[in-house]
């Protein structure tokens, strides 16, 4: 991992994500790019007029100063390091602006908070975070504001027994090794699922043939309340990180995390979610 892109809207909810981005940067000795994409109302002045150009320059200077102050407040002297850079950009779509930066900078990871400062924002993930999880080809780490961690000791990965899970776990194992963390591969399903144990055994054998990791465990859990069971499992196992694979329309995220009942599950969640997109594997 060479380049980490951290996106912020200056909100309190984004501070924990900043510290996570810096933690991972240090482990990988990577470059950290701090980005703010703003979407100010379009000026009535002509785009070729001097008034318009002056207003545009003023907006970039304002946001550049605000972003620098945010970083200095929450990162202090570390901001002077040459591997931490600050960038501001303007885009009608904040998520598209972040994605464009990630592609241009060849980012290996995007880090941001789970919620932003916008009014009317959704309970768990803001619209920007959800859009990045769906669209980004590189992994996205969404960090709750309550998350406080100095390292990663245990990772929970949810699986649906797919080939793409193996590619995602290969990349996750690299992260786990950096932190000397263990990975628990978990499949939670209803008791009516056909051949759940056989599928888990098959998946475990196939995975162990392709990856090498001494700290890899497998768990099959039957429950009719999948979200609640996952939440309890993450809490009871004292996991530091929850990992999922975005599988387009059939992903765990699409099937469950957009339902209203997720509000009950994550009311006090403190564990970040790392999402791999199948398109990026």
| CATH number of the domain bearing residue 12 | 3.40.50.620
* Residue 112 lies inside a defined structural domain of this protein: yes
Q: Are 96 and 42 in a shared domain?
A: yes
User: What number is the average pLDDT over the span 69-96?
Assistant: 82
Min mean pLDDT across 48-57, 132-141, 165-174 is at 48-57
Ranking 58-62, 138-142, 161-165, 190-194 by mean pLDDT, the lowest is 190-194
Same domain for 176 and 264, yes or no, is: yes
Average the pLDDT over 70-97 and give the result. 82
pLDDT band, residue 250 (cuts 50/70/90): low
Res 45: pLDDT: 53
Q: pTM of the full predicted structure?
A: 0.85
37 and 81 belong to one structural domain: yes
Q: What percent of the chain has pLDDT over 90?
A: 33
The least confident of 73-82, 133-142, 155-164 is: 73-82
- Does 167 lie in the same domain as 138? no
3-state secondary structure labels for all residues of 124-142: CCCHHHHHHHHHCCCCEEE
Q: Final residue of a domain: which of 143, 174, 197? A: 143
What is the average pLDDT across 200-223?
Answer: 83
| Residue 148 belongs to some domain of the structure | no
Average pLDDT, the chain: 80
Kindly give, in sequence order, each residue whose CB lies less than 8 Å from that of residue 183, ignoring residues fewer than 6 positions away: 155, 156, 157, 169, 172, 173, 176, 213, 215, 216, 217
Q: Is the dihedral of CA 27, 33, 34, 39 positive or negative?
A: negative
**Would 20 be classed as within a structural domain?**
yes
Domain ranges, residue 211: 154-280
Residue 98 — very low, low, confident or very high, per pLDDT cuts 50/70/90? very high
Cα separation, 114 vs 145, in Å, equals 7
117 compared with 172, residue with greater pLDDT = 172
Domain termination residue (choose one: 116, 143, 170):
143
Please check whether residues 40 and 134 belong to one and the same domain. yes
Q: What is the domain count for the chain?
A: 2
Query: Do 176 and 266 belong together in one domain?
Result: yes
Answer yes or no: do 24 and 97 share one domain.
yes
- Within-domain flag for 117: yes
209 is a domain residue: yes
Percent of the chain with pLDDT over 70: 78
Q: What radius of gyration do the chain's Cα atoms show?
A: 20
Burial of 268 (0-12, 13-18, 19+ CB in 10 A): exposed
Q: Are residue 46 and residue 128 in the same domain, yes or no? A: yes
- Among 122, 143, 164, the domain-final residue is 143
pLDDT at 248 over 70: no
Residues 131 and 159 in one domain: no
Which pLDDT value is given to residue 79? 65
Q: Average pLDDT, stretch 198-216?
A: 81
Position 121 confidence tier, pLDDT thresholds 50, 70, 90 = very low
| Domain shared by 176 and 67, yes or no | no
Q: What is the tens place of the pLDDT at every residue in 261-277?
A: 344 444 445 789 898 98
Q: Are residues 96 and 198 in the same domain?
A: no
């Amino acid at each position: 991992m060479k380049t980490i892109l951290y996106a912020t809207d200056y909100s309190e909810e984004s501070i924990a994500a900043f510290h996570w981005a810096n933690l991972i940067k240090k482990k990988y000795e990577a470059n950290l790019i701090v980005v703010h994409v703003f979407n100010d109302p379009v000026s009535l002045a002509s785009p070729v007029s001097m008034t318009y150009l002056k207003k545009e320059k003023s907006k970039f200077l304002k946001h550049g100063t605000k972003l620098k102050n945010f970083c200095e407040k929450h990162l202090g002297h570390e901001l002077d390091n040459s591997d931490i850079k600050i960038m501001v950009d303007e885009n009608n779509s904040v998520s598209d602006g972040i994605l464009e930066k990630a592609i241009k900078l060849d980012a290996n990871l995007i880090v941001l908070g789970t919620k932003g400062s916008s009014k009317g924002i959704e309970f768990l993930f803001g619209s920007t975070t959800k859009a990045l999880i769906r669209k980004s080809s590189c992994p996205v780490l969404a960090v709750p504001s309550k998350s406080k961690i100095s390292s990663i000791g245990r990772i929970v990965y949810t699986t649906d027994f797919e080939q793409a899970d193996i590619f995602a776990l290969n990349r996750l194992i690299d992260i786990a090794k950096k932190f000397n963390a263990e990975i628990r591969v978990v499949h939670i399903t209803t008791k009516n699922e056909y051949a759940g144990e056989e599928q888990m055994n098959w998946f475990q054998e196939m995975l162990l043939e392709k990856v090498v990791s001494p700290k890899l465990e497998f768990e099959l859990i039957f429950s009719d309340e999948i979200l609640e069971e996952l939440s309890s499992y993450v809490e009871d196992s004292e996991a530091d990180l929850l990992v999922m694979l975005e599988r387009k329309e059939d992903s765990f995220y699409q099937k469950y995390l957009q339902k209203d009942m997720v509000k009950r599950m994550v009311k006090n969640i403190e564990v970040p979610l790392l999402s791999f997109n199948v398109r990026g594997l």
